[in-house]
């Protein structure tokens, strides 16, 4: 069957044949061949009817601008963790997070009451990819506290912010992540800093660039309830959490990021999620416990503070170089990231805030200033008891001596005839 000619398409072909000799560089040629390969799409874009060359030039120019803008947007999304220009960072060297030794002090429930006597460090939150003070998180500051009991490490992350919660939509709820250096060459910048791409990053090509990540997205998490490692997901041998999305990950760079036990080439069933955690907000006034039917748990935009509380063993069973290992008396490197739906807009993965533009030292203390400050009080109590005991003994001795002094003295009577 003979095909019916389309005068609109023929007009476009004639136009591009005339422009072929005037194209400059490879871009115009590419645009021309792309349009010629899709004549119907081109005709639909320009509309119907006969179009003059001058009007068509303007239309083509607009089309090229739109295409270029779209390509730039795609490139930005594809390189969401890649900054333009050379990365520079001026971090404050005196910043340190101190994990004191304090056994039996913390209940993992998201509440901050048991942290009130524990010192923390307050941070300004700046965009991770562009740490400019002008773009600082407007909700307030972040305070990071740490503690250990000789077996587990505990973390409390407090962030000022209006209450925001959208059930089932993690990107419309606040989210927090902790990142720790594992490999010696792992950098804070670029999440480990391995130069390999997603198709070539492996535990061999990126050896030494490993970082450990805990990420908690609360869209399906009930406040005050415990999430993280659970028997169901751990039985699958990975760091997932199907209930509350408190997941255990490792990474070599932003594009090579996996759940523990899952790799770019093969999986390992020996991994598990070693983290547990809970969240809370100061506007929540029910302390007896929420259930899912209580969502959204509080009124939107309530002023207050978010609390994120986590724990993990100091040492784990990891044999894949996917978990950081804490040592009492030693130091590790960490960072904290925060996502928030500013103006109720869903956050993007690369649109997070960070406490610093470089690693922050985390010291695991071998002794506790908490116990040290408690000793003088104990000594005072012991001294008081000892003084009271001496007072009682002195009183008894005084009574005895007084009685001995004042008691009547009697002498035995001897009749004269017996002398």
Q: Could you tell me if 68 and 111 lie in one domain?
A: no
Determine the Cα–Cα distance for residues 18 and 21; give it in Å rounded to an integer.
7
d(CA 149, CA 131): 35
Single residue among 370, 394, 414 that ends a domain in this structure: 370
Question: Same domain for 74 and 193?
Answer: no
Count up the domains in the chain and report the number: 2
Residue 14 covered by a domain: yes
- Is position 1 within any domain? no
Q: Do residues 204 and 261 both lie within one domain?
A: yes
- Give domain status of residue 402, yes or no: no
Provide the residue range defining the domain that includes 48. 7-78
Contact criterion met (CB below 8 Å) for 186 and 211: yes
Q: Are residues 70 and 208 in the same domain?
A: no
The predicted pLDDT at position 60 comes to 63
Is 52 domain-assigned? yes
Cα Rg for the chain, rounded, in angstroms?
35
Closest CA to 181 of 312, 317, 359, 365: 359
Residue 72 shares a structural domain with residue 102: no
The predicted structure's pLDDT at residue 387: 79
Please tell me whether residues 299 and 344 are part of one structural domain. yes
Where does 202-343 show beta strands of DSSP type E?
211-217, 227-228, 246-253, 256-259, 276-281, 305-313, 331-339
Contact 139, 183 (CB under 8 A): no
What are the structure tokens assigned to 217, written together?
């997205």
Distance CA 153, CA 98 (A): 11
User: Does some domain include residue 84?
Assistant: no
User: At 288, which CATH number?
Assistant: 2.60.40.1190
Among 45, 78, 111, the domain boundary falls at 78
Residues facing residue 159 across a β-bridge: 142, 306
Residues 103 and 66 in one domain: no
Q: Are residues 193 and 256 in the same domain?
A: yes
**Regions in the chain scoring below 50 on pLDDT:** 1-5, 7-9, 11-53, 72-82, 84, 372-379
H or E segment to which residue 128 belongs: none
- In the chain the first and final C-alpha atoms are separated, in Å, by 169
Question: How far apart (Å, rounded) are the C-alpha atoms in residues 43 and 393?
Answer: 111
d(CA 121, CA 360): 11
Q: Is residue 37 part of a domain?
A: yes
Note the helical H segments in 213-357: 231-234
Buried b / exposed e over 6-43, threshold 16 CB at 10 Å, is eebeeebeebbeebeeeeeeeeeeebbeebeeebeebb
Query: pTM for the full model?
Result: 0.69
pLDDT in tens, 328-382: 999 999 999 999 999 889 998 888 999 999 999 999 999 765 554 444 444 456 6
What is the Cα–Cα distance from 117 to 123, expressed in whole angstroms?
A: 19
Residue 145 lies in a domain: yes
Residue 30 shares a structural domain with residue 118: no
Whether 68 and 152 share a structural domain: no
- Residues 360, 213 share a domain: yes
Same domain for 107 and 68?
A: no
Instruction: Note the pLDDT tens digit of each residue in 236-287.
Output: 999 999 999 999 999 999 999 999 999 876 678 889 999 999 999 999 988 7
Q: Which of 22, 45, 78 is the last residue of a domain?
A: 78
Q: 159: helix, coil or strand?
A: strand
């Amino acid at each position: 069957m003979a095909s019916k000619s389309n005068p609109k398409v023929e007009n476009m072909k004639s136009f591009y044949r005339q422009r072929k000799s005037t194209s400059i560089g490879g871009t115009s040629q590419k645009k021309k061949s792309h349009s010629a390969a899709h004549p119907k799409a081109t005709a639909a874009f320009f509309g119907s009817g006969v179009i003059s060359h001058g009007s068509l030039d303007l239309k083509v120019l607009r089309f090229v601008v739109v295409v270029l803008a779209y390509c730039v947007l795609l490139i930005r999304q594809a390189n969401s963790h890649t900054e333009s220009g050379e990365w520079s960072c001026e971090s404050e060297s005196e910043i340190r997070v101190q994990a004191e030794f304090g056994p039996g002090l913390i209940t993992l429930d998201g509440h901050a009451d048991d942290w009130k006597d524990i010192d923390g460090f307050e941070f300004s939150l700046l965009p991770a990819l562009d740490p400019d003070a002008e773009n600082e998180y407007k909700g307030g500051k972040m305070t990071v506290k740490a503690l250990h009991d000789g077996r587990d490490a505990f973390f409390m992350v407090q962030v000022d912010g209006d209450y925001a919660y959208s059930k089932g939509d993690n990107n419309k709820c606040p989210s927090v992540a902790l990142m720790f250096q594992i490999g010696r060459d792992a950098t804070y910048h670029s999440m480990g800093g391995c130069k390999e791409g997603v198709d070539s990053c492996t535990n061999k090509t990126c050896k030494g660039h490993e970082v450990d990540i805990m990420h908690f997205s609360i869209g399906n998490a009930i406040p005050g309830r415990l999430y993280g490692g659970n028997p169901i997901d751990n039985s699958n041998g990975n760091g997932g959490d199907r209930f509350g999305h408190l997941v255990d990950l490792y990474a070599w760079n932003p594009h090579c990021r996996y759940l523990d036990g899952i790799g770019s080439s093969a999986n390992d069933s020996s991994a598990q999620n070693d983290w547990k955690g809970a969240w809370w907000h100061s506007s929540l006034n029910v302390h007896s416990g929420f259930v899912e039917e209580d969502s959204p748990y509080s009124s939107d935009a309530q002023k207050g503070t978010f609390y994120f509380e986590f724990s993990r063993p100091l040492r784990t069973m990891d044999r894949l170089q996917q978990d950081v290992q804490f040592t009492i008396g030693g130091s590790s490197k960490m960072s904290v990231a925060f996502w928030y739906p500013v103006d109720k807009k869903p956050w993007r993965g690369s649109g997070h805030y960070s406490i610093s533009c470089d690693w922050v030292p985390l010291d695991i203390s071998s002794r506790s200033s908490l116990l040290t400050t408690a000793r003088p009080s104990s000594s005072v109590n012991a001294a008081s008891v000892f003084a009271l005991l001496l007072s009682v003994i002195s009183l008894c001795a005084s009574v005895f001596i007084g009685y001995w002094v004042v008691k009547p003295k009697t002498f035995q009577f001897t009749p004269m005839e017996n002398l």
